[in-house]
Structure 1
Amino acid sequence: MIIPLVIIALWMGSLLWAANSAWNNVQKLDALPTADRPAAGKGKNYVLVGSDSRAGLSSEEAKRLGTGGSTIEGKRTDSIMVLHMSDSGADTLLSIPRDSWVEVPGHRNNKINASYALGGPQLLIATLEKATNLRIDGYMEIGFGGFANVVDAVGGVRMCLDKPMNDEKAHIDLPAGCQNLDGKNALGYVRARYSDPLGDLGRVKRQREFLSALMSKVASPGNLLVPWKLKGVGESGAQGLAVDKDMGPITAVKLAWALKSVTSSGQSVQVPVANSAYPTYAGEAVLWDEAKSKDLFDALRNDTSPNVAP
């Protein structure tokens, strides 16, 4: 009886060692605003950002991934999502087009990704809270290198394409049909917009679909319950990963599990759009449908199921 207990204890200790080893490499940020915040609603809301950070990439890796070099200064948001974790029902993954035209606190109206460029995660979250009236409870950001490395660490992710995708700017040439995307092609797949007839709106839909598929594979027993696999996947993701300073590893695991569940029992939606080519001083922007967007945000705030097209 003692031997099985010892084996279980050693296995659990190995899992904790693997998880802690990865978490120690994650960057912690002072990401949440401190003033003029909306009151908390029901459920929890987490901002998930894909940035064009090249942190941790060598020149050779940056060239392989087609990211334009490893020494480019500054960061921009390549994707912005809000994960609503419900207290009583299904979770919702919401895409925010990066060209959304909103009020940036302390600045004039601008595209929402400008808030990140102007004031980092704090201003991005303050902008989101003002635009949606949703209180944000946490923040997670991953750069190019971390994203591609996670995909490679889990052996790629299977996606089915209705049409071929050839996008020189995203460095991909993918045939139609079901295929396993490695880190390089996955990064191009979620970044491509010039080859998509729907532009950024088509891209954000692909991003939600891919993220759910990736988390399903990351959260599989073969990756979570095998210590060396967990350590490899975790350390791959830690490269270029940043979270708010109050987030712990248990919350991060809950986020991954919620993202996994979105494909089976949750919802994957985007902000309702009135005009995807709204003319502004900053170029064409995405103008939200005011009434439908408010209904969506109110539903999330009240933890009810939003009635919005995916």
Structure 2
Amino acid sequence: MKGVLLVNLGSPESPTPKDVKPYLDEFLMDKYVIDVPYLLRALLVRGIILQTRPKKSAEAYSQIWTDEGSPLIVISKKMHQKVEKLVDVPVALAMRYGTMTIQKGLQELKDKGVTDVMLLALYPQYAMASTTTIWALADELQQKHFPEMKITKVPAFYNKPDFIQALANSIKKHLEGFAYDHLLFSYHGIPKRHIRKTDVTKSHCTIDNKCCVTASPAHEFCYRHQCYETTRQVVELLGIPEGKYSQTFQSRLAGDKWLTPYTDVEINKMPKKGIKKLAVVTPAFVSDCLETLEEIAMRANEEFIENGGEEFFAVPCLNDEDEWCQVVANWVNDWKN
């Protein structure tokens, strides 16, 4: 029997330092997120970051928390319910970090008689710190607890025509009536070394202005290329002229060389360049979360206005929009058949 497991990032149980700390510990101690030797990672995470970060993160989470709970969890559940109604196979929802574990999701499917699982990591672009860690944990759990299960991993869907169409339609709908000067595509940042580590050719990814637009097998697992390709295809569909859009990367950690240009740096420069009305879309996320709601819709908005901007609009993620849910359901049905 076939079934589907949808997997998103996860969330603390509450916006308090007490609950944020174990969540951050699990997340940052992941060897695919901070990819340094264990002892160094433990020193960095537990000896430095977790001494101050939980309080700051809890304050950020508290600004976006709803009566129903974490926006990411609430939205993912709504999306899951819609998809489930559109297909005739069991669909479970799990998170990579936190209490809604992948093991629980696989167990839920097993209890319903599922032996063949379609695993969909809810990240459009492939990255070591998002896709790989989900795939690796699913493989580990399958071997240890679910040997009778077959797991089929859905590749990154950054350039799938139906995803691009749904994303473009969503952006167009939300920006109707907003005469923006500039549309910024802000993607989650990753360390440059992650790009090189996932380069299957071991030589193509030079991270310059050429490698991402030069055909290569490396593109199958290159986050940077896939971000630029998502932007290119959406811009083409929407007919946005050159010069009226750009792409940046957000959410970096200090100490490493991360993908540039940086979202906050570029946004703060824009008012002086004559960009007074800015719209920002975050296509690395399918569900609104801390990085889209607090970092962009609140903090970036505030800084843009402080630096001379006049209007700022954060385009919501696809969330549980009907067209997006139908796209996922269609992928399920295609796989099932």
Same fold (TM over 0.5): no
| Larger RCO, structures 1/2 (Cα 8 Å, 6+ apart) | 1
TM-score by length of structure 1 reads 0.29
TM-score (norm 2): 0.27
More helix by share: 2
